[in-house]
């Protein structure tokens, strides 16, 4: 029977792991699985957390009484081209900064099984291009309808909308813009309010 893992150093970063393995990890480090490979997550900074909180507030207010829910990290999203699959056959487990889920049947006690309707990632200085590309391809191939990429330092937002299975990016939005969402009709996000008073911008 598989044993619990208590130290990150016990893992082999070159090995492929599944969600079944992931459930046995008890170390403090936060990690994601992308195509079975471990991605260690850095601790979010103050600016990142304030922006996440501002976004969560805006989505929560809009979604009150509606059939969609917003979740903030840490919150496991298990992605697979076909679901349901046993835990040992799931190789993608990510923790988006925020996600909106409208098909509530995808929710269970462990998080979300299947693609959220909307995912938001807030970039940190430590994000590298490979990491960004892999997340982009993962969300696109698994049917996430909207992928928002927010850059706190530049105070900008790019929304990628899935069309015929391929992401089409919109223009770069910044402070002064009010943006909507194709998956949440009527939702309006004022970027002045979202980016207001970020501590280190």
Question: Please, what are the domains in the chain?
Answer: 8-39 (no CATH), 45-194 (3.90.1570.10)
Distances (CA, A) of 192 to 26, 82, 91, 129, 151: 40, 39, 38, 27, 14
Confidence of residue 20 (pLDDT cuts 50, 70, 90): very high
Which pLDDT score, from 0 to 100, does residue 128 have?
A: 64
Checking if the pLDDT of 127 tops 90, the result is no
SS3 64: coil
The dihedral through the CA atoms of 100, 105, 111, 113 has a sign that is negative
Mind listing the pLDDT tens digit for each residue in 61-106?
A: 999 999 999 999 999 999 987 777 899 999 999 999 999 999 999 9
Which pLDDT score, from 0 to 100, does residue 132 have?
A: 81
Mind listing the pLDDT tens digit for each residue in 33-63?
A: 999 999 998 888 889 999 999 999 999 999 9
The predicted model scores a pTM of 0.94
Residue position matching structure tokens 């076909």: 82
What is the C-alpha separation between 106 and 83, in angstroms, rounded?
10
Residue 138's contacts (CB-CB under 8 Å, 6 or more residues apart) are: 34, 35, 79, 92, 94
Which pLDDT score, from 0 to 100, does residue 81 have?
A: 76
Checking if the pLDDT of 31 tops 60, the result is yes
Mind listing the pLDDT tens digit for each residue in 160-186?
A: 999 999 999 999 999 999 999 999 999
Residue 182's contacts (CB-CB under 8 Å, 6 or more residues apart) are: 145, 146, 161
**Two structure tokens written together for 197:** 């008073």
For 61-78, letters b (16+ CB in 10 Å) and e give ebbeeeebbbbbbebbbb
Which pLDDT score, from 0 to 100, does residue 200 have?
A: 58
Nearest to 117 by CA among 69, 55, 165, 80: 69
- CA-based radius of gyration for the chain: 17
């Amino acid at each position: 029977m598989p044993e619990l893992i208590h130290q990150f150093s016990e893992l082999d970063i070159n090995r492929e792991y599944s969600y079944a393995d992931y459930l046995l990890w008890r170390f403090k480090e936060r990690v994601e699985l992308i195509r079975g490979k471990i991605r260690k997550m850095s601790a979010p900074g103050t600016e990142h957390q304030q922006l996440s909180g501002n976004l969560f507030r805006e989505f929560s207010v809009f979604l009150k009484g509606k059939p969609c829910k917003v979740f903030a990290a840490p919150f496991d999203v298990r992605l697979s081209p076909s679901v349901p699959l046993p835990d040992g056959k799931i190789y993608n487990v990510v923790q988006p900064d925020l996600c909106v889920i409208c098909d509530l049947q995808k929710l269970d006690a462990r998080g979300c099984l299947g693609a959220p309707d909307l995912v938001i990632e807030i970039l940190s200085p430590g994000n590298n291009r490979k990491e960004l590309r892999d997340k982009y391809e993962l969300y696109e191939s698994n049917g996430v309808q909207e992928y928002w990429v927010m850059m706190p330092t530049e105070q900008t937002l790019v929304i990628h909308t899935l069309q015929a299975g391929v992401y089409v990016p919109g223009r770069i939005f910044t402070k002064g813009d009010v943006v909507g969402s194709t998956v949440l009709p009527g939702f309006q996000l004022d970027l002045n309010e979202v980016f207001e008073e970020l501590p280190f911008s």
